[in-house]
Structure 1
Amino acid sequence: MLTRDVISAIESLCPPRLAEDWDAVGLVAGSPSWEVKRILLAVDPCEATVTEALLGGYDMLVTHHPLYLRGTSTVGAHTTKGAWVTDLVRGGVSLYAAHTNADSWGTAQAMADLVGLQAARPLVPNADDPTLGLGRIGTIEPTTLGELADRVAAALPRTPAGILVGGDENRIIETVAVSPGSGDSFLSLVNEAGADAYITADLRHHPATDHLWSGGAALISSTHFASEWPLLPKLADALTSLMPGLQVDVSTIVTDAWGSRR
């Protein structure tokens, strides 16, 4: 099969029309006509995952985050990212990004599945298909905030930064909202939806404290990478079903910015 065939399969699940206006999704490097037998899924396009793809003999690297979200005027090898592009092209490895279009399809749903949300629905439904959209909200069997936080910590990749919990850990939680990635823009929406707890990442101090001090939902915050990694196994399973002859592997390299703590 060819790169374009893999792209068609990914985009049948995560249509580019679902991406936010500011996003940059699609083929970043390589050719639609290159042959593909093995692909690697990763959260970030970076030196570690590019090296993993090249040394592992993969034909395509599919990442959640775009390489050039803000755009660029050069892919010259004198730049850090340009050097990665050069190495990928020389190695015959295509690079493709599925970002907020994948979020609408599966990033939040993957988190919802991990914590056992029932009747999960999008926090921000897509206008054309309300079964898709950003975030999810649903219910779980009543448990304490501390027990839910332990469940989240056990389900996500282990990172040095761990997870943060805001609120009374003895509080009983039944309605849960999730939004992997940077989630403080949804704090008001989570309260309006009646969530008891909100699982997300990248929470800033002032929005989080204002939210909690105003009686908002309890907070469970992981790192950005950890919160979005569960998308990868979900996407791998879907692609394997759509393309049985394709080998799809998931990178387990932790690509958080935070590598240690004291």
Structure 2
Amino acid sequence: MGDTITGNDIIKAFEEWCPKHLAFDWDKVGLQIGTLNKKVDNVMVTLDVLENVVDEAIEKDVDLIISHHPIIFKPLEQINPDQPKGRAIQKLLKHDISVYAAHTNLDVVEGGVNDAMAKAVGVETTSPLLKTDKEKLIKLTVFVPADYADALKEAIHQAGAGHIGAYSHCSFSIDGQGQFKPSDASDPFIGEQGKLEKVEEKRVETILPQRLLKPVLQAMEEAHPYEEVAYDLYPLLNEGRSIGVGRIGELPEPMTLKDFSEQVKRGYDIPNLRVVGNLDKKVKKVALLGGSGEKYIHLAKRNGADVYITGDMTLHPAQEALEMGLSIIDPGHHVEKVMKQVVKSYLDARFNAENKQLTIYESNANTEPFQFLYNQR
């Protein structure tokens, strides 16, 4: 049986992948209800925190909800249990269920909502549609006995260090001589306590994004033979990859707008969607943005997209897209539900890789408000 896991443990691990600083400044992310200073056995991942989701969490004895859409976005004037939101909040507090929201940061992060949406419909080789920042880069320099240099380099590269553009496993090594004297309190791998030791070592240098610093250092520590590892970290002015919301990429082969729309329905597991454009037109370059993205139709067009997938399209932007020759597929806002599997998979990998320590549920409660009625012929 594993050690006790707290809410702080879970969110600390989650934010190593999806930090709050990636969120837009107007967003409301992080802990919204309850405390993280408690033992957590059951987590539920959900798109929305509506009352039926809270009821499901109570039934499953959930301790922590991780949601995409914040339950508290605008300031609350009251918490009234006669109203649905007030009743949901009352139930959460009564049953000691904490709520944590990851919104636009989960949209931006690599492997988050928009990457999952692209993968689900077969869009490949994506980059951000709206660039908001550049990854911060760090140079790692570590000194290691020559015989252990290759194993150490492989370990830190597997943890994500050493990527430059289209190249991986990038590093630089030079030979040198390390010197140290183990103290009486030490347990040296090489040398003896109280005696000066000189060792043939290699200076290994590589580059990594700041977000991967912790796993890379952990891999370095585990692969290094010394009790105390000598290493340096240098923040770089070099710009890393662009990060941002939305994605733009390509289909493996061109297909008609009609066929691609059917592929989108299957990929997002939805019964219907709205389409703007000539259904017989071939499309290949695809832009997409989860949620409400109609204000980015011009950006999608400028980036050469044939078709743009986003939710909550209204009349006049749809007309404008039609006139400029940009096809639109509106599968609704609720297709962001892809985040449930993404977050569950990440947490399972972090906490349940060796033994079952944490139960993680995907919410089954339906929070899609729209229904589709069809003419009977």
Separation (CA, whole Å) in 2 of partners of 1:52 and 1:88: 11
What is the match of residue 140 of structure 2? none
Contact in 1 for aligned 2:7/2:39 (Cα 8 Å): yes
1:218 aligns with 2:318: no
Deviation at 1:78, TM superposition (A): 4.3
Deviation at 1:139, TM superposition (A): 0.7
Question: Quick one: which of 99, 111, 117 aligns to 2:103?
Answer: 99
1:31 aligns with 2:35: yes
What is the match of residue 175 of structure 1? 285
What is the match of residue 111 of structure 1? 117
What is the match of residue 133 of structure 2? 127
Question: Quick one: which of 84, 91, 96 aligns to 1:87?
Answer: 91
Question: Quick one: which of 282, 305, 310 aligns to 1:200?
Answer: 310
Identity %: 31
Contact in 2 for aligned 1:223/1:256 (Cα 8 Å): no
Paired residue type of 1:250: E
Separation (CA, whole Å) in 2 of partners of 1:249 and 1:50: 13
| Worse-matched range after superposition: 70-79 or 50-59 | 70-79
1:241 aligns with 2:349: yes
SS at match of 1:258: coil
Separation (CA, whole Å) in 2 of partners of 1:224 and 1:253: 16
Contact in 1 for aligned 2:256/2:281 (Cα 8 Å): yes
What is the match of residue 62 of structure 1? 66
Q: What's the Cα RMSD here?
A: 1.5
Deviation at 1:259, TM superposition (A): 3.5
Paired residue type of 2:322: L
Deviation at 1:76, TM superposition (A): 4.4
Tell me which protein shows more helix as a share of its residues: 1
Deviation at 1:93, TM superposition (A): 1.2
1:8 aligns with 2:12: yes
Larger Rg: 2
SS at match of 2:134: coil
- Aligned residue pairs total 258
Deviation at 1:156, TM superposition (A): 1.3
What is the match of residue 208 of structure 2? none
Paired residue type of 2:349: S
Tell me which protein shows more strand as a share of its residues: 2
Contact in 1 for aligned 2:321/2:328 (Cα 8 Å): no
The alignment's TM-score, normalised by the length of structure 2, stands at: 0.66
Contact in 2 for aligned 1:225/1:254 (Cα 8 Å): no
Deviation at 1:131, TM superposition (A): 4.5
The alignment's TM-score, normalised by the length of structure 1, stands at: 0.93
| Worse-matched range after superposition: 24-33 or 241-250 | 241-250
Separation (CA, whole Å) in 2 of partners of 1:121 and 1:239: 25
Separation (CA, whole Å) in 1 of partners of 2:247 and 2:319: 22
Contact in 1 for aligned 2:51/2:87 (Cα 8 Å): no
4+ runs of 1 displaced by more than 4 Å?
Answer: none
Paired residue type of 2:305: A
Paired residue type of 1:54: I
What is the match of residue 248 of structure 2? 137
Contact in 1 for aligned 2:300/2:308 (Cα 8 Å): yes
Paired residue type of 2:321: H
The 3 A distance-change label for structure 1 pair 173 and 260 is closer
Contact in 1 for aligned 2:288/2:309 (Cα 8 Å): yes
Separation (CA, whole Å) in 2 of partners of 1:85 and 1:128: 37
Residues 66-77 of structure 1 aligned to structure 2 (within 5 Å): 66-77=70-81
1:149 aligns with 2:268: no
Deviation at 1:149, TM superposition (A): 0.6
Deviation at 1:240, TM superposition (A): 1.1
The 3 A distance-change label for structure 1 pair 74 and 12 is farther
Paired residue type of 2:344: A
Deviations 1:23-62 (A, max 9, x none): 1111111111121111111111101111111111111111
Contact in 1 for aligned 2:117/2:338 (Cα 8 Å): yes
Separation (CA, whole Å) in 1 of partners of 2:10 and 2:265: 33
Separation (CA, whole Å) in 2 of partners of 1:132 and 1:190: 16
What is the match of residue 364 of structure 2? 252
Contact in 1 for aligned 2:29/2:70 (Cα 8 Å): yes
